[in-house]
Structures are given as structure tokens and as C-alpha cells.
């Protein structure tokens, strides 16, 4: 190049992913391919159910050796169909995770090209970096700029190459299993009741892939709820359960509507079941869509449609992300609200992607507790205290099942969810690197030091117009009323003290935590696009 400084990406020992190949790669196409594999689960399950019906039809009118052999043969065909179900979901996971890492590599490459352009450099189709001859270049900064951009290009191509090799290996394992058999005989031993996530993780690591698939297919209820089991296996198990639980809800609705006409109580129950069924349908549809405006694949880590319903859903795979957010919602949240609450988690991920292009992040909606339905319930701490052990165990499970270097774990509580997070940290400890409270009525302690967290890693934000500022403790309301001689209502409106219903305001300087700003978006607007609180949450998740 006529003596012009020129830097090429270093050679890779395996066939590398080229610059042009990565630039043109379409992660969405891989997502669609994975979704197509997952979409086969429904017809395969219907075919298996049809074989069950055939076996049932044979029993009344056919007996003897031939009948027994026929039932055995049909049962074997049915088992062969059900055995493949976890592998169909696993193929979706592999391709979705490959797409996510490919998207991260593309984001890094785009950032490198932007840096090159800002520095007067060009990135050629080969990935080589050179000065733009049409622009002037300060001599003392040219060399370092070339080196930096070339390193960024190498990093993006290396990430894409590693993702490609890993996905190929995982798909190769599935291909081998298709030839040798998807599952094994039932594996011996199970974790004892009360086993912690670390013990569960060790047990799972000692199983063969075939034994794990057997457990997912034959004991999905056990696998789906075990903290310490990898996220991918829990997702497979819970998705296998999802269709059956939807059918149970539909059957319950039909029973409530017979005989007609239903009374007011039955109608209310039917309406609630309809909302829960719609939520399950929404969770079932969450899969591997991945575009600039849509979140990554959803992983179903827990599901219970009874009562108000519970759900634990991750966007992105927490076992593979470098930064993970666990979000705990507050009063009035139940299973029917899960898709909307996931939207809040997705907005944080979106800002993480904008602030840290190419960084792999995941967000978990943790709704594995009985959130208060109405405000009078939210004045009591019982539900928060009851939720503490489960949240503690879940965070321990994320640590135990994570692959590679430890991820940065952040736990965020909104409204009554902040009470859950605070009391869990106070009473049990949370395996987290940062705690965040937004719109909090107090977190059960008077000072951040009581939450067992590293110094400087407790954060809070309360919007200036958030009504939670009026959530004062009975003692504080009574004191203010006595001092001013006014009724409790006006006294509450005039309060500017520090004590909220569940202790000192965590966004008060005297609490000892760190604060980040929020605009005037009310109690539910911390995730609005124009609110600086959204950027604040994303920066904390990324550790910036």
C-alpha cells in the first residue's frame, strides 16, 4: 500500500469468519430456523397423543399375545416421538444462542467501523484497517488508532468464529444422538429433598447427555423447578409442561361454564382463567425472535398457573451472559401480567445493548412469590418475608449453573418488589453484585450496610412525583399528626421525612446507598424511554 501503515487481523488456527461474511450475516435467519425446529414440538406431541388414543381404543375389544405385542409396538412408537421433544427445543436454543452471539459480534464490528470512521480510517472487505487517503491524519495518533481499530475488528471476528465453532459442535452432538438414541435408561439417584443449588449442579454435571434428556422428558416437573440445573434444561422441561397446563386451564373454564348460565362468581373465575390462559399463550409464543427492536430468546425457568399464578422467565440465557439482571415486580402483579413485566426487563436490556455494544446480557423476570393484590395487603411484610428463601435460592442457582467466569448479578426490586429484595438480602443474603430499588416503600432496614452487600453496590431512585413518597409508616404518620394537630390525610401530604412504611427511604442520603436520578414519570414510569432512570438501571447492570 505504497508504504502506508497497514494492519491486518491476526491469523486464527481454524477457518476464520471473514469480515464480509460477518457484516452480511443475518442473525434473524438463524433465529427463524431455531423457531421452526421448536415449532415441530406441537405436531409431534399431537401425533404421540394420537398413538395414546389408539392404545386406549385397543384395550376393550382385543386381548391375547397379539394385542399385547401391538400395544407394545405402538407404545414404543409413542415413546420414540416423545423422546425427541427435548431435542427439538434444544436445537432452537442452540441456534438462538448462536444468533445472539452473532448479533453481539456484529455490534462489535459496527462499533469498530464507527471508531475507524471517526479516526479517519477505513476498514476494507478483508478486515484490514488503513488510513483514509481523502482525510488528514495526525501522525502521532495514527499508529495507536490503527492498532486499536484492528484489535476491535479481530475481537468481533474472533467472537463470531467461536460462536460458529461452538454451535457446530452442539449441533453435531445432537446429530450423533439422533443416530445413537436420544435418551438412556432412567439415571440412578436424585438430589435429596432440600438439596442446595450447588449440590444440584454437581448432580446434574455427573449425568450423561442422554440421562439429562431422559430426565427432561420423563420428569419435567422436577427438572423445571430445580435451582442449580442449567437454564437450557429447565427451559426444555417447562416448555414441555406448558401445553398441558394451558389445556388444563381451558378444561377448567369449560367446567365453570357448564351448566349455563354461570353466576357472578363463576364469571369472575372464568375471566381470571382467561387472563392466565392468555398469559400462558404469550409465554408459549416467546421464543427466538431477535431484531434490533426485539429482545433475545425467552427461557422459561418456572411456571405455576394455580392461584394468581407464578412465573420465572429469562430474556437471554443467564448461564452464558456476562451481566444478568433479576427483576422482582410489586403489588398487583400476577401471571397474567408476566408478558407486560417482561417488557420492562426488555427495555433495560435494550439500553444495555446501546451502552455496551456486543456485551452479552440477560434479564430475568422473577415472579415466584405471591405478590399483594391490593394496597392494604402491601402494607404488611408477610409476603415479602415468605418470598425471601426462594429468591435467595434462585440467585444461588444462577451462580451455580453459570458457565465460564462469574457474571455480574444485579437484583432489582420495584415497589413491593423492593421489599422482597431487601428482606431477602437482610435475612438470607443474596448472591448478587448490586441491589437496585426503584419506587420503594422501604426495604426492611434503616441502612444499606444491613443488606450484606459490598460497599457502594446498593442503589435507589424515586421519581419526584412518585406517590410512594406518601407511603409513610403508621408511627411517622401519627407523629406528624400530633406535631401539627392535623388529621392523618393532610399530615401525610405534608410529610418530608425519611421513614417510609418499611423503613428508611433507600433513596434518602442518610440510608447510605447510592442514588441515580429519575424524571417525573410517576410510580410506574421508571422504564419509559425518556426517563434517565432507565439508563441508570442499565449502567448498574453493566457495572459502569
pLDDT in tens, 315-361: 999 999 999 999 999 999 988 888 889 999 999 999 999 999 888 99
pLDDT of residue 183: 77
Whether residue 481 is predicted with pLDDT greater than 60 in this model: the reply is no
Distance of alpha carbon 221 from alpha carbon 88, whole angstroms: 18
pLDDT at 266 over 70: no
- pLDDT over 70 percentage in the chain: 84
Mean pLDDT of 286-304: 68
Question: What was the pLDDT predicted at 56?
Answer: 83
**247 or 152, which is more confident:** 152
Q: How far is CA 226 from CA 13, 198, 384, in A?
A: 40, 11, 21
Q: Is the pLDDT of residue 480 over 80?
A: no
Q: Name the CA radius of gyration of the chain, rounded.
A: 27
pLDDT of residue 475: 58
Residue-level pLDDT at 348? 97
Percent of the chain with pLDDT strictly greater than 90: 56
pLDDT of residue 463: 96
Higher pLDDT, 491 or 148: 148
For 351-400, write each residue's pLDDT tens digit: 999 999 888 999 999 999 999 998 888 999 999 999 999 999 999 999 99
Q: What is the pLDDT of residues 152-186, one digit of tens each?
A: 999 999 999 999 999 999 999 999 988 888 777 88
Q: What is the pLDDT of residue 129?
A: 87
DSSP, res 488? H
Instruction: Give the three cell numbers for residue 370.
Output: 405471591
Q: Residue 228 and residue 216: Cα distance in Å, rounded? A: 14
Least confident of 7-11, 168-172, 260-264, 526-530: 7-11
d(CA 316, CA 99): 11
Mean pLDDT lowest among 2-11, 202-211, 261-270: 2-11
Q: So what's the pLDDT on residue 63?
A: 80
Which ranges of 181-263 does DSSP label H, i.e. alpha helix?
A: 197-205, 209-218, 220-225, 231-256
pLDDT band of residue 133 (cuts 50, 70, 90) is: confident
Render the burial of 33-47: b for 16+ CB within 10 Å, e for the rest. bbbebbeebeeebee
C-alpha cell at 259: 351448566
Provide the β-strand partners of residue 434: 410
pLDDT of residue 390: 98
pLDDT of 498-533, one tens digit each? 678 899 999 999 999 999 999 999 999 999 999 999
Task: Assess whether pLDDT exceeds 70 at residue 280.
Answer: no
Return the H-helix or E-strand segment holding 44: helix 41-61
* More confident site: 130 or 4: 130
Q: What's the whole-number mean pLDDT along residues 125-149? A: 79
Amino acid at each position: 500500500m505504497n508504504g502506508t501503515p497497514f494492519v491486518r487481523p491476526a491469523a486464527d488456527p481454524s477457518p476464520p469468519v471473514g469480515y464480509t461474511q460477518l457484516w452480511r450475516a443475518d442473525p434473524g435467519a438463524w433465529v427463524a430456523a431455531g423457531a421452526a425446529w421448536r415449532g415441530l414440538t406441537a405436531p409431534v406431541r399431537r401425533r404421540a397423543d394420537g398413538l395414546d388414543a389408539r392404545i386406549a381404543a385397543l384395550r376393550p375389544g382385543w386381548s391375547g399375545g397379539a394385542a399385547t405385542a401391538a400395544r407394545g409396538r405402538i407404545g414404543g412408537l409413542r415413546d420414540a416421538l416423545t423422546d425427541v421433544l427435548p431435542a427439538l427445543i434444544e436445537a432452537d436454543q442452540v441456534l438462538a444462542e448462536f444468533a445472539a452471539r452473532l448479533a453481539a459480534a456484529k455490534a462489535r464490528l459496527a462499533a469498530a467501523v464507527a471508531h475507524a470512521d471517526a479516526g479517519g480510517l477505513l476498514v476494507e472487505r478483508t478486515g484490514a484497517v488503513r488510513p483514509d487517503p481523502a482525510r488528514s491524519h495526525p501522525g502521532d495518533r495514527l499508529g495507536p488508532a490503527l492498532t486499536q481499530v484492528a484489535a476491535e475488528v479481530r475481537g468481533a471476528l474472533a467472537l463470531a468464529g467461536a460462536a460458529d465453532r461452538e454451535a457446530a459442535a452442539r449441533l453435531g452432538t445432537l446429530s450423533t444422538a439422533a443416530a445413537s438414541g436420544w435418551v438412556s435408561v432412567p439415571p440412578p439417584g436424585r438430589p435429596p429433598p432440600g438439596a442446595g443449588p450447588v449440590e444440584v449442579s454437581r448432580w446434574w454435571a455427573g449425568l450423561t447427555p442422554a440421562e439429562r434428556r431422559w430426565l427432561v422428558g420423563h420428569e419435567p416437573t422436577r427438572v423445571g423447578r430445580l435451582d442449580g440445573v442449567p437454564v437450557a434444561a429447565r427451559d426444555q422441561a417447562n416448555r414441555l409442561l406448558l401445553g398441558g397446563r394451558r389445556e388444563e386451564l381451558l378444561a377448567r373454564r369449560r367446567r365453570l361454564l357448564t351448566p349455563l348460565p354461570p353466576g357472578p362468581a363463576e364469571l369472575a373465575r372464568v375471566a381470571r382463567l382467561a387472563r392466565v390462559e392468555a398469559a400462558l399463550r404469550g409465554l408459549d409464543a416467546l421464543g427466538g425472535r431477535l431484531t434490533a427492536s426485539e429482545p433475545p430468546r425467552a427461557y422459561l425457568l418456572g411456571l405455576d398457573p394455580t392461584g394468581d399464578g407464578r412465573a420465572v422467565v429469562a430474556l437471554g440465557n443467564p448461564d452464558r451472559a456476562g451481566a444478568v439482571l433479576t427483576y422482582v415486580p410489586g403489588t398487583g402483579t400476577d401471571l397474567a401480567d408476566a408478558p407486560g413485566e417482561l417488557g420492562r426487563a426488555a427495555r433495560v436490556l435494550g439500553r444495555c445493548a446501546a451502552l455496551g455494544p456486543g456485551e452479552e446480557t440477560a434479564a430475568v423476570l422473577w415472579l415466584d412469590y405471591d405478590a399483594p393484590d391490593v394496597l392494604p395487603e402491601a402494607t404488611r411484610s408477610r409476603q415479602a418475608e415468605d418470598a425471601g428463601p426462594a429468591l435467595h435460592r434462585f440467585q444461588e442457582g444462577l451462580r451455580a449453573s453459570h458457565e465460564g467466569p462469574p457474571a455480574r448479578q444485579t437484583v432489582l426490586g420495584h415497589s413491593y418488589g423492593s421489599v422482597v429484595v431487601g428482606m431477602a438480602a437482610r435475612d438470607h443474603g443474596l448472591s448478587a453484585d448490586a441491589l437496585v430499588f426503584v419506587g420503594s416503600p422501604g426495604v426492611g432496614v434503616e441502612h444499606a450496610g444491613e443488606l450484606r452487600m459490598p460497599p457502594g453496590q446498593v442503589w435507589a431512585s424515586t421519581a419526584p412525583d412518585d406517590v410512594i413518597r406518601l407511603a409513610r409508616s403508621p408511627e411517622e404518620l401519627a407523629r406528624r399528626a400530633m406535631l401539627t394537630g392535623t388529621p392523618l390525610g393532610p399530615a401525610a401530604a405534608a410529610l418530608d421525612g425519611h421513614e417510609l412504611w418499611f423503613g428508611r427511604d433507600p433513596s434518602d442520603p442518610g440510608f447510605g446507598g447510592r442514588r441515580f436520578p429519575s424524571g417525573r414519570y410517576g410510580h410506574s414510569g421508571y422504564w419509559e424511554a425518556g426517563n434517565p432512570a432507565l439508563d441508570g438501571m442499565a449502567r448498574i447492570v453493566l457495572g459502569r
